[in-house]
Amino acid sequence: MKRTFLTITGLLVVVAILFTNASVDEINGYKVGDYATDFNLKNVDGKMVSMSNYPSAKGFIVVFTCNTCPYAKAYEQRIIDLHKTFSPKGFPVIAINPNDPSQSAGDSMEEMKTRASERNYPFPYLRDDVQDITSAYGATKTPHVFVLNKEAAKKYKVEYIGAIDDSPREAADASEKYVESAVNALLSGKKPTVKEKRAIGCTIKWKDA
């Protein structure tokens, strides 16, 4: 009798812990060390893009960004440069626009196409219409970066989350280039020393619930 009681109590504790963890993850998205889900989202060229489309990639620089946020625009050239530097080394940029176009007309697929062609984006610029990838990753603002290391097929480990560098206003003033350092560490077989850095950004325009 006592034993049954203990077992039940134990089970309840386990369930409680599991439940708490699950709900916390749901709210907060990925932490460094988690495995990120692949996606299948529409690109500005009309094609669907997944990380599994890049069999030879060593990892990815996933950037939640948009057309309309002044901070995202300030980082646009730096995102292009990241791709130019790291795509040949196996870490391409994949940009995802999470904003609901009904609240931010400047972020519609049409506007994204215009921006991508005007600025000659060398990377895919995808729309997360359902916003499930954005919430799974736990992106809250633009720009918001996730550096993923591909450990094996379909195993994308989150190694860095946050800001591109420490100078939103002027690229030239940056003294710490977080994403660049993280990818360089991974390329040399090491873990990034800085795993998370927050920055100011624009709130993601979520669909009305």
Pair 65, 79: CB distance under 8 Å: yes
- Identified binder of another protein from the candidate list 47, 154, 169, 190, rule CB under 8 A: 169
Say whether residue 163 binds another protein (CB under 8 A). yes
DSSP 8-state assignment for residue 37: P
Say whether residue 42 binds another protein (CB under 8 A). no
Say whether residue 209 binds another protein (CB under 8 A). no
Q: How far is the CB of 136 from another protein (least distance, A)?
A: 15
202: which 2 tokens?
């624009």
- Identified binder of another protein from the candidate list 59, 98, 101, 168, rule CB under 8 A: 168
Say whether residue 204 binds another protein (CB under 8 A). yes
Pair 84, 120: CB distance under 8 Å: no
Say whether residue 177 binds another protein (CB under 8 A). no
- Identified binder of another protein from the candidate list 162, 164, 177, 186, rule CB under 8 A: 162
Of 163 and 179, which has the nearer Cβ to another protein? Answer: 163
Q: What's the CA angle centered on 193, arms 190 and 194, to 5 degrees?
A: 135
- Scanning 2-10, 37-45, 123-131, 198-206 for contacts with another protein by CB under 8 A, the matching segment is 198-206
What number of other Cβ atoms are within 10 A of residue 43's Cβ? Answer: 20
Please tell me the distance from the alpha carbon of residue 177 to that of residue 200, in angstroms, as a whole number: 16
Of 96 and 199, which has the nearer Cβ to another protein? Answer: 199
> Under rule CB under 8 A, how many of the chain's residues touch another protein?
18
Residue 158 CB contacts under 8 Å (≥ 6 apart), including other chains = 30, 31, 32, 33, 34, 35, 36, 146, 147, 148
Pair 148, 195: CB distance under 8 Å: no
Binding interface with another protein (CB under 8 A): 70-71, 140-141, 144, 162-163, 166, 168-169, 197-204
